[in-house]
A and B are shown apart, each in its own frame.
Chain A
Amino acid sequence: MKNLDLRGAGAVFRYTVQQHYKNRSVIIFLLFLFLGSLAVFPIRALVGGKAVTETAIKKVYLRNETGFMIEADDIRKDQVFSGVEIIETKDDDAALAKTISEDKTAAAAVMVIDQEKMRFDIRTNYGADSDVKGGDADALNEVLSSALHQSLLRMQSVTAEQEALLHSKTYSQVSRVSDYLRSAEETGTDTHVFANLFYCYLIIMLNTLAMSYVFQQCMEEKVSKLVESLLVSVSPAALMLGKLLAVTVFIFGGLGLVALGLFLSFRIGSQMTDPTVLTDMVSGLFNVDFTKLHISGATIALFLLCTVLAYAIAASFSAIVGSCCSRTEDTQQASLAVVLFIMIGYLVGAMVPMFENDAAYNIVSLFPLTSIFSAFPNFVCGKISAGVFTVGLLLQAVTVFFLIKTAGRVYRMMIFYRSAFPKPKQVIRMLREEKAAARLAAAAGKEDSHGE
């Protein structure tokens, strides 16, 4: 590396970035990406997360056939229905239908007990041209259900404390005693699996994106026959570095834009709904306890560091493979090689949490190919120690260094290569030959200088 000439890398970087963002389709794509992420929370609020704060229902005709007394106060206890008039009725369905058809602010609720199925049925109806909407009727149904529940409890003389106890949730855990002893620091399996899958998914998306961009950049000068004109002014290493840095900006710029869109979306969505709606939804779906993920500034910094290292490994490996491409058709074979490389790490990384084995956690967090997927979630979920995590990151950094160095050599070696996509064996042989030639040339140079 001592003779590495990186002059011109800055100019290559600036030019590549400038040309990328001058492309109209890129700007349109980024705009869609931003608007898409900006819409996530508001759409969620509009579709189902909106908390009801008022109702169009002014009168409720209640036909209670359950045999249990429903207190009007239990209904009005709900802030939304505090001003609603409750009219108990024994009218049949036809009469009720007539009543609510004539009154646009009325709803009719019928409560029955189904002895066969051993359940209560609550049915709320509103007129065809009514001001009352489905959301209002849903909210009324929930309140009536709660009022019926209160009535049942009252009948059994249940106190508020007893009721709270009855409603308390159950948390179950199965673990080995060693895991139990450190359980305060550790995250449950479900949360770990979720965090791991989410992170693996993010990294594989990032790496696939990096691969296609890097291929495109490695081949651009070959395809446009500009290589020789450029290499008079800039070394292959500087050319490669400038381009890889530019790809980093494209990818992380895109991710940043999505993150900004989501942040703004959350702020906008919070104005429209309770912000816990989304977290509750994810939490319920995957049985995830977000508090156990210890999300903080330090976690975010570590997340960024790990993401950059994972990207750098995939990008530099893609650069090695991409340097061997001479024609657009070669990218098919090249993609296969890179995807295979990434998928091995992804599959192992994604599966390991399911085995719940400490040795496996440590191994996948140390080996660079798998640690780019696993080290971060394993550390955040308390499955590996800080020491193992640090060693894992150091090994990743060393791998990045060697991959970039090799990418520079392969790029220089293959820059004039115009044949079919080479086999790995062929590239290794060429690298060996090049190294031997360099040694020979260096030795000859030394002899010359001694002679002089």
Chain B
Amino acid sequence: MGFSVRELFKKYGDKVVVDHLSFEMHQPGVYALLGTNGAGKTTSIRMILNMLAKDGGTVEWNGGPLSLKTCNVGYLAEERGLYPKNTLMDQLMFFASLRGLSRSQAKERIRYWAERLEATEYLYPQQTGAKAPKPKKADELSKGNQQKIQFMLALLSDPELLILDEPLSGLDPVNTDVFKSIIHEEIDKGKYLIMSSHQMATIEEFCTDLTILNRSKTVLQGNLAEIKKSYGLINLFVKAEQELRPLIEQAGITILSSVGFSYQCRVTGEEQANALLRTLVTQGIPLIAFELREPSLHEIFVEKVGEAHEES
């Protein structure tokens, strides 16, 4: 069981857009594909799904080549849309038929997901007055509500492998929570998920493993917890009721940013942070907060992409 990408390669003319990308998923969960704009995430996903011809590399599902025949894939694309003038129900039934669902199966699943995504009012409009309810068309929906229908299209076939490209972009906080709860459910059901997003907090919430791409190349890869652990406790947050800058700088600590008497600092390790704490306590400075923690995914991402830029 599992999913693997080996040496995936693509170039347009002389420009390499995906440079030998490899990663594996041996068990269900979320794998994050991160990168700056134009790093090659969407091109990689398109090659994984055989939508785009590969110039090299293989994509395997359970030991065999991944294809429409071998794997039930659900995909929420970054470039998403619907037929604007067709009714939502017609479109959902069409997608269900493409996935080989019978009419009754399709209706049952559409009803389930409509309720789950709080979209019943668009798919099953209630009769108002004497006029029969008119089925809703895609262009009558807001962008966020269209996104719900697109998410339904990806989930209709109950996919084994779900690829979500920027799933939460453009959603309001209420709908973001609905989407997140569904993603959690899919993880609990033992599905394989590949997620691409610029919202690092979201990725941190779900993913176990990740790859960071920058200008077609892999700049960081591995288990998120291990990556963070490898960085160690290097982020120090200090908050007091008075100026601390001279003391922090005396201790050889770099201040990354400060607001009032709150300081985001980078330390070399726990010893350096402890030395600062001892100094502050000795001098009797009252502290509101003193927190030493691992770097966030956002910080790791910025650092890795920055390093890559410097190298290039």
Chain A residues within 8 Å of B, Cβ to Cβ: 5, 7-8, 11-12, 14-15, 18-19, 23, 220, 224-235, 412-413, 415-416, 433-434, 437-438, 440-441, 444-445, 448
Q: For residues 94 through 115 of chain B, which have their beta carbon under 8 Å from a beta carbon of chain A? A: 94-95, 97-99
Q: Say which size band chain B's interface belongs to.
A: 35 or more
* Residues in B neighbouring A227, C-beta threshold 8 A: 79
Closest 10 CB pairs of A and B: A225-B81, A228-B77, A233-B98, A232-B75, A11-B97, A15-B94, A224-B81, A231-B51, A437-B55, A8-B98
* Chain B residue with the shortest CB-CB distance to A235: B68
* Residues in A neighbouring B84, C-beta threshold 8 A: 224
* Cβ of B40 to closest chain A Cβ, rounded Å: 14
> Contact: B98 with A229, CB < 8 Å?
no
B189 at the interface (CB under 8 A from A): no
Q: For residues 206 through 242 of chain B, which have their beta carbon under 8 Å from a beta carbon of chain A? A: none
* Residues in B neighbouring A445, C-beta threshold 8 A: 58
Please list 8 pairs of residues, one from A and one from B, whose beta carbons are closer than 8 Å in the complex, sorted by A's number.
Answer: A15-B90, A220-B83, A224-B81, A228-B80, A230-B98, A232-B49, A232-B74, A438-B53
> Contact: A233 with B99, CB < 8 Å?
yes
Query: Can you name 12 extra interface pairs (CB under 8 A) apart from A232-B74, A232-B154, A437-B53?
Result: A11-B94, A15-B90, A15-B97, A226-B81, A228-B79, A231-B51, A234-B98, A416-B46, A437-B54, A438-B53, A440-B56, A444-B56
**Residue among B74, B77, B80, B90 with the highest chain A CB neighbour number at 10 A:** B77
> Contact: A5 with B68, CB < 8 Å?
yes
* Cβ of A95 to closest chain B Cβ, rounded Å: 74
B200 at the interface (CB under 8 A from A): no
**Bound CA span A35–B86, Å:** 28
Chain B residues within 8 Å of A, Cβ to Cβ: 13, 46, 49, 51-56, 58, 67-69, 73-77, 79-86, 90, 94-95, 97-99, 150, 153-154, 157
* Residues in A neighbouring B81, C-beta threshold 8 A: 224-226, 229
**Bound CA span A14–B54, Å:** 31
* Residues in A neighbouring B69, C-beta threshold 8 A: 5
* Residues in B neighbouring A434, C-beta threshold 8 A: 53
**Bound CA span A157–B242, Å:** 141
> Contact: A229 with B150, CB < 8 Å?
yes
Contact of B49 among A5, A23, A231, A448 (CB under 8 A): A231
> Contact: B54 with A229, CB < 8 Å?
no
Contact of B46 among A15, A226, A228 (CB under 8 A): A228
* Residues in A neighbouring B76, C-beta threshold 8 A: 229
* Cβ of B34 to closest chain A Cβ, rounded Å: 19
* Cβ of A222 to closest chain B Cβ, rounded Å: 10
> Contact: A225 with B53, CB < 8 Å?
no
* Residues in A neighbouring B154, C-beta threshold 8 A: 229, 232
* Cβ of A125 to closest chain B Cβ, rounded Å: 63
* Residues in B neighbouring A231, C-beta threshold 8 A: 49, 51
* Residues in A neighbouring B86, C-beta threshold 8 A: 19
* Cβ of A30 to closest chain B Cβ, rounded Å: 18
> Contact: B153 with A229, CB < 8 Å?
yes
**Bound CA span A11–B73, Å:** 18
Q: Quick one: given A18-B90, A448-B58, are A228 and B98 in contact (CB under 8 Å)? A: no
* Chain A residue with the shortest CB-CB distance to B81: A225
**Residue among B54, B82, B94, B153 with the highest chain A CB neighbour number at 10 A:** B94
* Residues in A neighbouring B56, C-beta threshold 8 A: 440-441, 444
* Residues in B neighbouring A14, C-beta threshold 8 A: 97
* Chain B residue with the shortest CB-CB distance to A412: B53
> Contact: B75 with A228, CB < 8 Å?
yes
> Contact: B90 with A229, CB < 8 Å?
no
* Chain A residue with the shortest CB-CB distance to B94: A15
* Residues in A neighbouring B54, C-beta threshold 8 A: 437, 441
**Bound CA span A231–B74, Å:** 11
* Cβ of A409 to closest chain B Cβ, rounded Å: 10
**Residue among A23, A220, A233, A444 with the highest chain B CB neighbour number at 10 A:** A233
* Chain A residue with the shortest CB-CB distance to B67: A5
Contact of B55 among A12, A235, A412, A441 (CB under 8 A): A441
* Cβ of A116 to closest chain B Cβ, rounded Å: 73
* Residues in A neighbouring B97, C-beta threshold 8 A: 11, 14-15
* Cβ of A242 to closest chain B Cβ, rounded Å: 10
* Chain A residue with the shortest CB-CB distance to B97: A11
**Bound CA span A318–B98, Å:** 26
> Contact: B83 with A225, CB < 8 Å?
no
**Bound CA span A144–B294, Å:** 116
**Bound CA span A433–B13, Å:** 8
> Contact: A7 with B68, CB < 8 Å?
yes
* Residues in A neighbouring B77, C-beta threshold 8 A: 228-229
**Bound CA span A288–B81, Å:** 56
* Residues in A neighbouring B80, C-beta threshold 8 A: 225-226, 228-229
* Cβ of A130 to closest chain B Cβ, rounded Å: 58
* Cβ of A328 to closest chain B Cβ, rounded Å: 13
**Bound CA span A8–B84, Å:** 22
**Bound CA span A232–B80, Å:** 13
* Residues in B neighbouring A412, C-beta threshold 8 A: 53
* Residues in A neighbouring B52, C-beta threshold 8 A: 416
* Cβ of A9 to closest chain B Cβ, rounded Å: 10
* Residues in A neighbouring B51, C-beta threshold 8 A: 228, 231-232, 415-416
* Chain B residue with the shortest CB-CB distance to A444: B56
* Chain A residue with the shortest CB-CB distance to B154: A229
* Residues in B neighbouring A18, C-beta threshold 8 A: 90
* Residues in B neighbouring A8, C-beta threshold 8 A: 98
* Residues in B neighbouring A226, C-beta threshold 8 A: 80-83
**Bound CA span A230–B46, Å:** 12
* Cβ of A120 to closest chain B Cβ, rounded Å: 69
> Contact: B98 with A19, CB < 8 Å?
no
* Cβ of B161 to closest chain A Cβ, rounded Å: 10
* Residues in B neighbouring A416, C-beta threshold 8 A: 46, 51-52
* Cβ of A442 to closest chain B Cβ, rounded Å: 11
